[in-house]
Amino acid sequence: MPVWDKGCDSSYTWAKKFKDLMGQETPTAIANKIVDCIKTDSNPTGQFLHPVTQQRQHLCVTGGEPLMATGQMATVGIYEELERQDNLPGSMTFETNGTQKLRDPFKEWVNRIDTEIFFSCSPKLWTVAGEKPEKAIKPEIVAEYYELSKTGQLKFVVGPDDREWEEMESVIAKFREAGVHWPVWVMPTGAREEEQIAGAGKVAEKAFKRGYNVAARVHVYLFGNAIGT
């Protein structure tokens, strides 16, 4: 896949040239596809509660942006179909940029279910992604996520450049002022393994010195820049 210097490096999730990859299916059909994805020889019916290990698997909802209004509606529908099949994940993560206001039906759903909801909120920085702060940094919206679920994280993708770190820490301060007290994780930029090898160590060193957690881009090491990873 093409690798971009600015913006999300999974270009097929947003670039118009890959629009034909976008699906148009019902929540029920998507729920069944998810079940098909976790079918293996040891789990032939695709159970989130693995029949051998008895470990309940996790479901991550990502994008693009999964908390757009249509994504919120679709997620509730997918969950309700899995619920109807008596096949629920143990927990769910939403990988979001933290700009989308939560609708009442979604909030009511989160409050109704027993499944733990984890918000992995990754605001896009101007110095890294080239997105204007007034559009990308929404502490008041993320504060609503925090009130709904105290389990979550702020995650920032940065390189070793000092100006990126300065912007990141100014943004963190804004989220703290808004009452968002999730832990901070730092992930190095780079969509390919060679880019990770070149810069990840420097990023990790800066993060540790500042007291932040470090998240590895494991999918890059395992699968490179392939679609779907």
- Residue bearing tokens 């908390």: 67
Q: Is pLDDT at 14 greater than 60 in this prediction?
A: no
Which amino acid does the sequence have at 62?
Answer: T
Residue 5 lies in a domain: no
pLDDT tens digits, one per residue of 110-164: 999 999 999 999 999 999 999 999 999 999 999 999 999 999 999 999 999 999 9
Give the Cα separation of 10 and 4 in Å (integer): 9
Assigned domain for 117 exists:
yes
The pTM (predicted TM-score) of the whole model is: 0.86
pLDDT of residue 200: 85
Each residue's pLDDT tens digit, 33-68: 999 999 999 999 999 999 999 999 999 999 889 999
What is residue 17's DSSP assignment? G
Q: Percent of the chain, pLDDT > 90?
A: 75
Q: Is residue 209 part of a domain?
A: yes
Q: Residue 152, SS3? A: strand
Residue 48 lies in a domain: yes
Q: How many domains does the chain have?
A: 1
**1 belongs to a structural domain:** no
C-beta of residue 139 within 8 angstroms of C-beta of residue 17: no
149 or 1, greater pLDDT? 149
Rounded to an integer, what distance in angstroms lies between the CA atom of residue 39 and that of residue 224?
A: 23
- Rounded to the nearest integer, the mean pLDDT of the chain is 89
Higher per-residue confidence, 4 vs 94: 94
Q: Answer yes or no: is 197 within a domain.
A: yes
pLDDT band at 189 (very low <50, low <70, confident <90, very high): confident
Does residue 3 lie in a domain region?
no
- Spell out the alpha helix ranges (H) of 66-137: 69-84, 104-112, 126-129, 133-136
Q: CA torsion angle for 190, 16, 135, 146 (degrees, to 10)?
A: -70
| Residue 32 within a domain | yes
pLDDT average, residue stretch 63-83: 95
Range of the domain at 52: 11-223
Longest dimension (CA), the chain: 50
- CATH code: domain of residue 59: 3.20.20
Instruction: Provide the pairing of β-strand 184-188 with 213-214.
Output: parallel
